[in-house]
Amino acid sequence: MKSSRTRGLVVVFLLSVVAVHAEQQWTRLSMFGDAIGQWRFVGGDWKQNAEGVINSPGKFEQHHLAFLPETAYANVEAEFEFRRDSNHGGVGLVVRAQDAQRYYVVEFPFCGQQAREGHFWSAITRVDASGWGKVLLEERVAGVPAEAGLWQQARVALQGTEFRVWVNGRPLTVVSDATYPKTGRLGLVNWGPTSIRNLRVRGTKAKAAAWDERRQPIRPWYNPYPTADRKQGTPGLTRAPNGDLLMPDAIYVFDVNSRRLEVFAEDWQGGALRGAYHLAFAGPQRDILLASSVDRPRVHRFDHPGARGMRLNNPKI
């Protein structure tokens, strides 16, 4: 009997969420033609083709943001379809944006282990002026295919401080957060190749503070290897006895603190390592041990100033 009452309460609550917006008309959001003038872009211009498909510049190394600063919503519901056009990237809906630095994002990431394990993931994140995001929820969504090239249906509903999300009709865990005001703008976020279509919204329009164009996102990271002629791989990190944070790449070590690059051994004939690189200190001389995830049986030992507590003093850049 208790279980039946609980189910009944859940059904009534969900119906009440739907009823909040049921009498409001959907507004279709577009970037086609003159409509693109309503948007503000960060990280490059987005575009929409004649078939209604929206794309960002799609670069891997940064998030691309698109905001609608002229209209703020309190309780709001949005629906859209999205497609992964590669196995590395992410796409999502920005909600309750106060400016280009402070907002929530409902995101569907697919990279690294998320892509390799073959499950579909969703996340709800709060982004602040530091440029970092606080993950409020990250979970797998059972029954949603994770392959690239498939159109998926997303629905997002905000009521008060509660966030409700569905992917292909399958719900995520409900999240509540009251950090930002209960009103804000909508937007889109993307990194890597993705596509969006059939974006529509309905909800209660509300007053909000004026959109401050001067507040732009802070990028709290950088490409440590200043080489533009080759792809940058995924490095390992280790801290030397002198406190330097070191990361390897092929036969180089990079001092993250001073942003200087040094060759392990200029006369080393082993060639560049492949895969992800891992550093460690070992032995009485505190030698640097360098291993590769691809060349797993090979462990390379190098003597390095950082291992003896000295600053890197022979930069190659």
CATH code, 184: 2.60.120.560
Three-state DSSP at 54 gives: strand
Domain stops at, among 165, 186, 206: 206
| Whole-number pLDDT of residue 176 | 97
Q: Are 104 and 74 in contact (CB under 8 A)?
A: no
- Do 29 and 143 sit in the same domain of this protein? yes
- Do 265 and 188 sit in the same domain of this protein? no
* Structural domain that includes position 266: 238-308
- Do 168 and 263 sit in the same domain of this protein? no
Percent residues over pLDDT 90 in the chain: 50
Q: How far apart are CA 247 and CA 235, in angstroms?
A: 6
| Whole-number pLDDT of residue 195 | 96
The token pair that represents 51 in the structure block: 């078939």
Q: Is the dihedral of CA 271, 277, 283, 286 positive or negative?
A: positive
Three-state DSSP at 105 gives: strand
Phi–psi pair at 85, nearest 5 degrees: -100, 10
Neighbours of 183 (CB within 10 A): 18
Q: How far apart are CA 83 and CA 55, in angstroms?
A: 10
177 falls within a domain: yes
- Do 180 and 272 sit in the same domain of this protein? no
- Do 56 and 151 sit in the same domain of this protein? yes
User: What is the block-wise mean pLDDT of the chain (317 residues), using blocks of 10 residues?
Assistant: 46 46 83 95 94 88 87 97 90 96 95 80 95 94 92 97 98 97 95 94 93 90 58 60 60 51 42 51 54 49 44 31
N-terminal to C-terminal alpha carbon distance within the chain: 72
Q: Residues with Cβ < 8 Å from 253, sequence gap 6 or more?
A: 246, 247, 261, 262, 264, 279, 288, 304, 306, 312
125 falls within a domain: yes
- Do 201 and 293 sit in the same domain of this protein? no
The token pair that represents 79 in the structure block: 């629906």
